[in-house]
Amino acid sequence: MKRKKLSDIPDTVTFMGELALADNEIEQVKIPDSVVEMYYGVFSGNNISSAYISKNLREIPGNFFSSNRLKGVKIPEGITRIGRSAFSDNSLESIMIPDSVVDVSEGAFEYNKIKSIAFSKNMKTIINSMFSHNSLINIKIPSYIRHISQSAFSYNQLKTLEISDGVTYVGNNAFRGNQLENILIPNSVTKIDSYAFYEHKLKTVEIPDSTRVGFKAFDEGVSVKKRK
């Protein structure tokens, strides 16, 4: 069967089913504003480099644009949820998550080339593997984020990290495999889980003495200063 290279979706379409246009050779797509509902993997496995997403969509499904060539995408205000691996395995360099988004599922943006992130102010958790395997060099975790989950920022190129006071938990492997030399943990953090900052170039770490630290949270031999 001949694969599609272009996708001209009529503005009479209101929903698209699971894997509807997956595994073709589509390079560009415009999802018209008539579309209000979409299902798993609709555009996965194509060659899409640019896309317009309907402003009337409320949820982005799992594997929505996974395994494409997206370099940039605008997530419209009004989206409340982004599904698992929705934009994984692309070439995104930056991402802005609108404030309407309250829930992002595992691996939503992993395996891209992301260098900058604007978080939704209504997000409380950076979920498992959300930004793993990207190109982040600097990142500030805002104060409204409470949990940084497992592998959230693993295997980037982080050289500087600022964790704002307000974050309470740093999960397993959360920042594993980066290039940090110095880490300052705020007083709000109650637990740092196993391997959270493993495989770095760490020289100094400063943490509150009340913070619980998991197995090999930091590289062996690192100077850890505890403050009261």
Q: Please report, for the chain, the start and end positions of each structural domain, with discontinuous segments joined by +.
A: 11-123, 127-228
Over residues 68-87, the mean pLDDT reads: 98
**Distance from C-alpha of 64 to C-alpha of 88, rounded to nearest angstrom:** 9
**Distance from C-alpha of 119 to C-alpha of 38, rounded to nearest angstrom:** 24
Q: Write down the CATH number for the domain with range 127-228.
A: 3.80.10.10
Output the CA–CA distances (angstroms, integers) from residue 84 to 44, 81, 90, 202, in the order listed.
12, 10, 14, 32
- The reported pLDDT for the residue numbered 228 is 84
Q: Sheet of 59-60: strands edge to edge? A: 59-60, 81-82, 103-104
List the beta bridge partners of residue 191.
169, 212
24-41 tens-digit pLDDT: 999 999 999 999 999 999
Q: Is the pLDDT of residue 4 over 70?
A: no
Q: Sheet of 6-8: strands edge to edge? A: 6-8, 28-30, 50-52
* Domains 11-123 and 127-228 alike in fold: yes
173-218 tens-digit pLDDT: 999 999 999 999 999 999 999 999 999 999 999 999 999 999 999 9
What phi, psi does 52 have (nearest 5°)? -110, 130
Residue 170 DSSP SS3: strand
Output the CA–CA distances (angstroms, integers) from residue 32 to 52, 93, 94, 166, 180, in the order listed.
8, 24, 23, 39, 43
Select the CATH number that applies to the domain covering 11-123 from these four: 3.30.2010.10, 3.40.50.300, 3.80.10.10, 3.40.50.1100.
Answer: 3.80.10.10
| Percentage with pLDDT > 90 across the chain | 94
Give the Cα-Cα-Cα angle 166, 170, 172 (nearest 5 degrees): 170
Q: Is the pLDDT of residue 135 over 60?
A: yes
Output the CA–CA distances (angstroms, integers) from residue 164 to 99, 109, 169, in the order listed.
19, 22, 12
Residue 218 DSSP SS3: strand
43: Cα within 13 Å, side-chain hemisphere: 31
Reading the block at residue 126, the tokens are 């950076």
103-119 tens-digit pLDDT: 999 999 999 999 999 99
**Distance from C-alpha of 1 to C-alpha of 219, rounded to nearest angstrom:** 53
- The reported pLDDT for the residue numbered 227 is 92
149-179 tens-digit pLDDT: 999 999 999 999 999 999 999 999 999 999 9
Residue bearing tokens 């050779």: 25
